[in-house]
Amino acid sequence: MQCRRHYHAAEPRRQYGQQRTGQGVGMGIHNLTGQTLGQYELRDLLGVGGMGAVYRGIQTALKREVAIKVLSPALAQQHGYLERFNREAETAASLEHRHIVPIYDYGTQQGTSYVVMRILTGGTLGERITQRIADQRELPSLGEIAELLSQLASALDYAHSQGVVHRDIKPSNVMFDNQGTAYVVDFGIAKLIESTGVLTATGMSMGTPAYMSPEQWRAESPSAATDQYALGVMVYELVTGQQPFEAPTPYGLMHKHLNERATPPQALRPEVPQAVTVAIDRAMAKDPRERFTNITSFAQTFDQAIRGATGETTSFFTSPVHKLPPTPRHMLSGTFVSGLQPTTRPPQASEMPKSLFKRLMPLWLVLTTVIAAVVAVLVADMVIGGDDETPAVNHAERTVIAQQATDLAEQLAAVGATQTALRVPVTPPLTASPSTSPAAPESLIPPPLPSEEPISLANTGRLRLDTVLHIEDQAVRGLAFGADGQTIISIREDGRLERWPVEGAALPIAAQPGISAPSATSHDGEIWLLQDADRVSVWNANLSQLEIEVEDADATISSAALTQDNALLAVGYSTGLVQVWDVNDVQTEPIDDFTVNVEVTSLAFSADGQTLATGSLTVRVWQLDNEEWLEQDTLEGHTSPVRQMAFSPAGDRLVSSSQRETLLWDMVEIRRLDELATETGGVQAIAWSPEGTLLVTGANDGQMQVWDASTGQDMRTLTDYTGTITQLAFDPAGTRLASAGTDGNVTVWSIQTALSIGVRDELALTEATALTGHSDRTRRAVWSPNGRLLASAGDDGTVRVWEAESGETRFELEGHTGTVYALAFSPDGEVLASASEDGSVRLWDVATGEERAIFNGHTGAVYSVAFGPDGERVASGGADHMVRLWDADTGAEQRALAGHTNTVRSVAFHPDGDRIASGSDDGSVRLWETDSGDEISMLDDHTGTVYSVTFSPDGRWLASGSGDGTVRLWDATSAELASVLPVTDWVTAVAFSSDGKLLAATAQDGTLRLWDTGSGRVLATYPVANDGVQSVAFGPEGQQLALSAEDTVRVWRISNTPVAALTPTATPVTPSATPTET
């Protein structure tokens, strides 16, 4: 089967050319109108797409009108297709959301697979976009786009929480009902197509090119961030009326998606606020880690960005869609479309006048042959690498170009008659012309991570935009985080003080009038220093005046600073005078004063309040000695007055900035370390991260730069501001940065604190063994109690038992007829339990490999299994929403625990055996009494599926991992929530080490995280797979980890060796969807 991947620059309908058979409708599908599939009569053929055909049908039993999607029979020829179809259809059908089209039924009849769904009559988004162009209608208002985005975001986030990634978000997969409500369609279909042999063999990923993310172009595994990127492209298209990237060839389109930034929307639609550009840019970030943590955050940020600019309603999404006459727009700009197609077709060869047919056919045969030959030669030349001056095309580009050559000859033959009949000029062939195609840059696909040098906070300095809190013309003069890190306090130019929740909101929590001042600074958001030319005041956050107000009629106040504890206030004057005041003991005179002879343009205290720096043309350093400030050193190097200064948290570094230069000083040896290469000078704001590893500067031109504080290296430059950045503030934990300035925006950024290999020195991981043998994805790996054996299972339906030391297979256990989702060894290691999609739990003799027993009681797939600590009971959970308890010796079902309202994904016994925990698709964790089966408590703080639960070895804690991107720790006795550990993708598994000191979690983004359970501190984050990691298990000694990912079980060794000294035994993999930069 040839699975087409057609380039296009828009989402209009495509008209097919000659059909292969008289009654065919494409892809080998025959027109089935009038026939019956199961209980469904196929009445009208609505359209044909790259994956099959859609019919209007009738469900005879209920007399209900439905839409029936019939997939190509050619798909059924692929090995394992039927099982995949049933699995993906079941997954799609399980999605129940108000903005996901409901699937009523699915089946396969004589090799023809079909999916039955609700019929929607409001057309697709693609049709509305096409109709707008044809009718020259106005674009939808920003408010209407925000409403649509909110609907689609809720649908996609829900699907992601259920572990489902769409993979092919595009306008033709968004449909409407008659009221304008939007629905996402075709969940699971893209994955089904992608799993066929052709795509696998070519290394390609499913998607529609105009909406494909960079990771899809690189043939990496899609994630929730992939859907977000495609949705970002759609939003851009709705906002501007054009797609962000267009090119005459797939090669050129791929290059743009991988390397170029889209034209800012306001350049195409002037009324679009700058903050909209910021939001869309983040959703379309090249690196998945830089996108929003979820799509709802994208929608909320977009909604906040358009406040005051929503526009007038256009009825773009509610007006009727009229059917357009067939137009061969798929050939405009040399493009092809693979979305849903109309069935209206051009005249066939048999229907044309014979004279016309005879004249055209030879022409098209010759033209097709010539063009195909030319393309083949060009492709071969590019794949080989061209001449010595032409860089070889990388793998991802070769894949696209080779597929393009294959498609081109067949498509030209198909569209030839169409173009002639409709008199549309033939578009030039899709060649890689040196004059139009960009060269293939060597950096197009990121290289793998270095094998020896760790990546840490100190050498990444990554930021990710979280949200824009407010947008207005009033400049921000003061900015600080509250002491708890959960609120942000800002002071506007008019003196208005606002409190904001860190997560962002349309309106502040509180807004109060205050005092107008050109400058306001605060360390904790509670005590504020307000300064203008003739007054300095110290106020608390509710704007009641404290005890001190400093005024001097004889001079202008030019600078002021508070100590970290708000105890001392320093004031600098235009005359060169410096006064130091005790804030808590106000007298008529300062406690000390001294002069520097020239205007004091800046002041800064060290964190301990013992050192004061004064800035003018030089920086002078003063030490506190018995309430007297004594000059110690003078730092020279500036060529203009120093306007900004800041000490590092430890006091060992000082950064000083003037209009012309920004300098970094060593305050221990009193020497200049470096000059920071700011882009344009004019630094107006400086902030140190709490641990002192990062330095951030904000400038006159709106640029914000992130620096490695130890080396002075520029690690990131951000240019999204339209005004001067005057305020920067880190939260107390160092996980967020807030920035603000004259443009009125208050922007919150997350700081990358755990990226890739070896974040901290406490732990290091090296890969010791890779166990291969499964023919499909592995789902679970578990250790035997003595650590000598490993067992694994997966989608191939087998269970394998391995010798842990040698990696050799001891047994391959066969008997299950579907995916094996879970495994568990008995406490004595003599029995292995397995749970499967086939609805059974099986017990195996570990010594002989023989099957001991089969437990049949679940009425659907079984996703989890666990032995009790005494080995006498087995617990299992499944798709029937039940937790079932079994007698391990007799196989008798002891009781069924009912309470969950959806599939049970995980079960675990308490070490004492008196309680069982279970996690479910309903988002809850439930605790049950083992003997009675009574529900003890329900923990419902998660907002997504709970995929994994486990107790700590001492029984004190219960850990749960969820599709909401968090690991939660609960007190196992009181059931109180103790801690929330964020993971920026859905959590697939959690596990405690044998001593309970470490907690591990794996995520769908292919990463492993390790926490110190005593402090809750992240010890390390490792990219361990290119696809989602399905399970994690500690070895009995706590020095090894077994991870199941893709078709392999990998064993990693944990050590306390500093990461920088390690040489990994295996080349680290590049994460395909590592967490967004936090």
Give the residue numbers annotated as catalytic, written as ranges: 168
Alpha-carbon Rg for the chain in angstroms: 32
| Beta-bridge partners for 904 | 920
DSSP states along 825-870: E-TTSSEEEEEETTSEEEEEETTT--EEEEEE--SS-EEEEEE-TT
- Cα dist. 22→351, 360, 420 in Å? 11, 20, 20
DSSP per residue over 363-420, as a string? HHHHHHHHHHHHHHHHHHHHHHT-STTSPPP-HHHHHHHHHHHHHHHHHHHHHHHHHH
CA angle 368, 372, 373 (to 5 degrees): 120
**Token couple for 1043:** 């991870």
- Which tokens sit at 188? 């699971």
Q: What is the C-alpha end-to-end distance of the chain, expressed in Å? A: 43
Please, what sign has the CA dihedral across residues 473, 475, 478, 480? Answer: positive
The DSSP letter of residue 1068 is P
Give the closest residue to 900 by CA, choosing from 871, 879, 875: 879
Q: Residue 454: which region, alpha, beta or left (left: phi > 0; alpha: psi -120 to 50)?
A: beta
CA 662 to chain centre: 35
Tokens 């679009």 correspond to 272
- What is the rounded distance in angstroms from the CA atom of residue 586 to the CA atom of residue 877? 69
920 CB-side CA count, 13 A: 26
Contact 519, 492 (CB under 8 A): no
Q: How many CB atoms lie within 10 A of CB 628?
A: 12
CB-count exposure of residue 669 (10 Å: 0-12, 13-18, 19+): exposed
Region of 582 (left: φ > 0; alpha: ψ -120 to 50; beta: rest) is: beta
Q: Counting Cβ atoms within 10 Å, is residue 311 exposed (0-12), middle (13-18) or buried (19+)?
A: middle
Residue 161 CB coordination number (10 Å): 21
Q: How many CB atoms lie within 10 A of CB 271?
A: 12
3-state helix, strand and coil shares in percent for the chain, rounded to the nearest 5: 20, 35, 45
Q: Compute the half-sphere exposure of residue 1072: CA atoms within 13 Å on the CB side of its CA.
A: 22
The two three-digit tokens of residue 276, written as one number: 């909209």
Residue 554's Cα: distance from chain center in Å? 58
Dihedral angle sign, alpha carbons of residues 148, 154, 155, 157 = positive
